[in-house]
Structure 1
Amino acid sequence: MISAPFKPSKWTFLFLMLAAMMILMGGAAVAPALPLISAAFPGASDTSISLIITLPALAIAITGFFIGALSDRIGKIRVLAASVAVFTLAGSSGYYLTSLPALLVGRFILGIGIAGIICTTSSLIVCYYEGITRARVLGYQAAAMGVGVLILETSGGFLAGFSWRAAFLIYLIGIVILAGVLLTMREPARLKFDELKAAPDEKFPVSTLLLAYITLFLGNLMFFLMPTKFPYLIAHMDAARILGENTALTAGIFLGISGCASAILGIFYGRIAWRFHRYTILTITLLCFGIGLCSLGFATSLITVAFAVILIGIGEGLLMPTILTSIATITPRQFLGRAMGGFSVALNLGQFASALAVVPVIAIAVTYSNMFLAFGGVALVLAVPYLLAIIKKKYYPAAQAARNSLPLAAQK
């Protein structure tokens, strides 16, 4: 038996997009304040301070799949509302917690809330919308993630200008989002659990989703160098002191520019996806990451920095909707929560792994500039397999067709 369908309104769409703003940078909204937090806890290592940004990602990686499965079982709206409440309370806890260990515990709990937001918002979009409208809304979701970077990072940098603790107040935006979820959203029509067991022909597509998850993991490993290490690069640049000795606002502005570029790509993603194969889009994505990160390594002026962050934002703006569209296309609806849970795991495992990958690289590279150069080179290398896949897709079918047209003896 199927429940009565819910038709989403414009307000539903609005609050889905507001919730989506938290997906990409929800854990990194306070990134511009990292140098100030380091000064507040002088006995803590840079790696420990970076956990403020990356620990939520680890929590999401651990709990994302299970929260997604829970949303399939008890309902996506319930999980979303609870997740936004956790996001608000745990996120703002950094304003009044006094010790670094307590702050890190709060950040881990924040990650659990973000995991629920990621799983449920993406699933709700797929359930609420169909066909070309769904593709367009998924593009808008990617744009909302970019706008989230712009708003959260710029606001976080602005609030950090008052104190590093004030930066955590940005998470109070969750109050508005929670009200919108409760007022404008309803559980989409779904099959009952016992009916799902009666459809054994539809299975969770593990193998086909694996490539999408790996690509997302690698892409976000590259992208998340921005909130964790970019503020330190800016802090060592003389040109970045254009707004004063406190470079947190400058870092926040440039991270916001990156988010703006990502948002613009999301708005036009529908047209891009219509014209280009996903392998082409993913090749362009990694090239943007590679060139952008290398440009940061060579940067001595703010113009070069702007060019670099725009390219990196374009890369992220292409990556997210491409992966989401692939997942939505190949996953049966009753498994969407689980599939989006896997999406959240891959997304945030890449974010957390970026902090671990930096440790040996920075030990060898010595400077942040050299570190960005190293990761930029890795991104360019990762683009090669996708480029080869494009070439194979373009030329191999024609060559195989010509071969098949030959007499059997000539094929040997």
Structure 2
Amino acid sequence: MQGNERSPVVLAVLLAASTLGVMGGAILVPVLEVIRGDFGVTGTAAGFILTGHGFAIAVSSPLVGRLVDRWGIRWPMIGGLVVYGLGGGAGLVVTSYPALIASRLVFGIGAAAVFSCTTIAMLAFYQGKLRDRVMGWRSTATSVGGLIWPLLGGVLGGMTWHATFAVYLIGIPLALAAVWTLPNTTARSDRPRVGVIRLMRLRPALIGWYSLWIIIAVQMYVLAIFLPQRLAEIGIRSPVLVSIYAVVGASLITSLVGLAYGRIRTRLSYPVLLRLALGSAMVGFLIYGTVSQPIVLLLTPALFGFGNGILFPVATVLVDEAAGPEHRARAASLSGTAIFAGQFASPLLFGPLIAATSTTTGFFVSAAVSALLLLIVTTRRTITSSDAAEESQRTHDSTSA
């Protein structure tokens, strides 16, 4: 590892870029109804403004992995930030719905590169306990971005909905910062290049981890889409209160857990961390499905924030360990495909279910899915070879003591 890869400036750029992933559609929510009215489109069509980029990310992420395999991290990251800024910022000037959707698809390609390259860079540049700390910091940065950028977008949207899209232009100065700071890493010429199916055959454990990513993404969007409806049913309609229950509370806890994740990881193994994260989600969904007291419901943002703060760094590292360094770029990019495919599928899967039954049924089903995942993880003592080594070392240490 080259010294400049550990530079605090490099890490700062990677963490700043990590804040961009969560604002793909979040900053547009406050002005979505204004955009819909301006273009005269249906609610479903307006929804594609929020989800279209997710489809583009899911489709283009494998291509990003191939580019990193061939060119290294530096130039795909820089190019992705430029496309992110220009594609997202195009909303400043577009005057038709088709043009806006086209710009969102272009934006999604840039977002795929930013998401994949930041993940690959952090996994490649940092190892051991330092990597655990960095992955925790990444969770914190992502959560902080989920608070700051939508707030800024809402302020700009008070002038005109076009102004909200100016937030995406942050990708341009970050691209310039990446030009000056990112090391000129290149892929090894002897590194094997395999297709998706071949990779799954070589590393079958990846199928399980990608399935986990998809399920978690589906569940998280159940919260994003249907939680406001559930809160309205029990009399919580204030936008401020809804934001606390749905976004702000969980993001604050995730940020705090991310800062402490490095220390948490030194004490707990991956299986234990996964059980804690999945158990928190299960209890959170059960509370949303059964409880109607607002004070008790405040427990749920803390539960989901705690679970997310643990799950995302753990799952990212586990995918990397399952793939191995030689397949890191392809495996990390496919994580993006899994996550955003899950987000795109969430309303398609749970929308009809909740429409035919109730929001509580949707949350009960989500709780049952979390319980099943928890059972699967609980029946496996170790998750990776490194985790098995940690368990053996802990046993040896306790015996020696």
Partner of 1:364: 356
Partner of 1:21: 19
* Distance (Å, rounded) in 2 between the aligned partners of 1:250 and 1:306: 11
Partner of 1:125: 122
Q: Secondary structure at the match of 1:268?
A: helix
In the alignment, is the contact (CA less than 8 A) between 1:123 and 1:337 conserved in 2? yes
TM-score by length of 1: 0.80
* Distance (Å, rounded) in 2 between the aligned partners of 1:335 and 1:207: 13
* Distance (Å, rounded) in 1 between the aligned partners of 2:225 and 2:162: 17
> Is 1:77 equivalent to 2:74 in the alignment?
yes
Q: CA deviation at 1:42?
A: 5.0
In the alignment, is the contact (CA less than 8 A) between 2:88 and 2:104 conserved in 1? yes
Partner of 2:210: 213
Partner of 2:255: 263
Partner of 1:11: 9
Q: Which region of structure 1 is more displaced relative to structure 2, 338-347 or 144-153?
A: 144-153
* Distance (Å, rounded) in 1 between the aligned partners of 2:372 and 2:228: 32
| Residues 339-393 of structure 1: per-residue CA shift (max 9 Å, x gap) | 111111111111111132243134214xxxx43x233212221223343345534
In the alignment, is the contact (CA less than 8 A) between 1:31 and 1:227 conserved in 2? no
* Distance (Å, rounded) in 2 between the aligned partners of 1:390 and 1:255: 27
| Residues 116-148 of structure 1: per-residue CA shift (max 9 Å, x gap) | 011111111122122211121112112211112
| Residues 156-208 of structure 1: per-residue CA shift (max 9 Å, x gap) | 333334443332222122123112211111123642x2x2359xxxx944311
Partner of residue 388 from structure 1, selected from 375, 379, 385: 375
What amino acid is the match of 1:381? A
Distance 1:300 1:323, change over 3 A: same
Partner of 2:155: 158
Q: Secondary structure at the match of 2:379?
A: helix
Partner of 1:181: 178
Partner of 1:283: 275
Partner of 1:410: none
In the alignment, is the contact (CA less than 8 A) between 2:250 and 2:302 conserved in 1? yes
* Distance (Å, rounded) in 1 between the aligned partners of 2:150 and 2:234: 19
In the alignment, is the contact (CA less than 8 A) between 2:257 and 2:306 conserved in 1? yes
Distance 1:289 1:41, change over 3 A: farther
* Distance (Å, rounded) in 1 between the aligned partners of 2:241 and 2:151: 7
Q: CA deviation at 1:228?
A: 4.2
Partner of 1:169: 166
Q: Which region of structure 1 is more displaced relative to structure 2, 326-335 or 86-95?
A: 326-335
In the alignment, is the contact (CA less than 8 A) between 2:120 and 2:332 conserved in 1? yes
Q: CA deviation at 1:80?
A: 0.5
* Distance (Å, rounded) in 2 between the aligned partners of 1:36 and 1:236: 25
What amino acid is the match of 2:9? W
What amino acid is the match of 1:21? T
Distance 1:133 1:4, change over 3 A: closer
Partner of residue 361 from structure 2, selected from 347, 371, 374: 374
1:221-260 correspondence to structure 2 within 5 Å? 221-230=218-227, 239-241=236-238, 247=239, 251=243, 255-260=247-252
Distance 1:126 1:268, change over 3 A: same
Q: Give 1 or 2 for the bigger CA radius of gyration.
A: 1
What amino acid is the match of 1:118? F
Partner of 1:317: 309
Q: CA deviation at 1:33?
A: 3.1
Q: Which region of structure 1 is more displaced relative to structure 2, 54-63 or 96-105?
A: 96-105
| Residues 20-74 of structure 1: per-residue CA shift (max 9 Å, x gap) | 11223434332333344444455413x3222222211111111101111111101
Q: Secondary structure at the match of 1:7?
A: helix
In the alignment, is the contact (CA less than 8 A) between 1:154 and 1:256 conserved in 2? no
Q: CA deviation at 1:301?
A: 7.4
In the alignment, is the contact (CA less than 8 A) between 1:6 and 1:188 conserved in 2? no
Q: Secondary structure at the match of 2:22?
A: helix
In the alignment, is the contact (CA less than 8 A) between 1:86 and 1:110 conserved in 2? yes
Q: Secondary structure at the match of 2:6?
A: coil
Distance 1:390 1:127, change over 3 A: closer
Distance 1:54 1:303, change over 3 A: farther
Q: How many residues align?
A: 377
* Distance (Å, rounded) in 2 between the aligned partners of 1:111 and 1:48: 17
Partner of residue 319 from structure 2, selected from 324, 327, 331: 327
Seq. identity, % = 26
Distance 1:48 1:147, change over 3 A: same
Return 5+ residue gaps in structure 2 as ranges.
Answer: 382-401
* Distance (Å, rounded) in 1 between the aligned partners of 2:159 and 2:353: 33
In the alignment, is the contact (CA less than 8 A) between 2:281 and 2:304 conserved in 1? yes
Distance 1:253 1:21, change over 3 A: farther
Distance 1:34 1:305, change over 3 A: farther
In the alignment, is the contact (CA less than 8 A) between 2:192 and 2:326 conserved in 1? no
> Is 1:196 equivalent to 2:191 in the alignment?
yes
Distance 1:180 1:324, change over 3 A: same
Partner of residue 106 from structure 1, selected from 99, 103, 106: 103
Q: Which region of structure 1 is more displaced relative to structure 2, 57-66 or 262-271?
A: 262-271
* Distance (Å, rounded) in 2 between the aligned partners of 1:212 and 1:376: 23
CA RMSD of aligned residues (A): 3.2
Q: Secondary structure at the match of 1:23?
A: coil
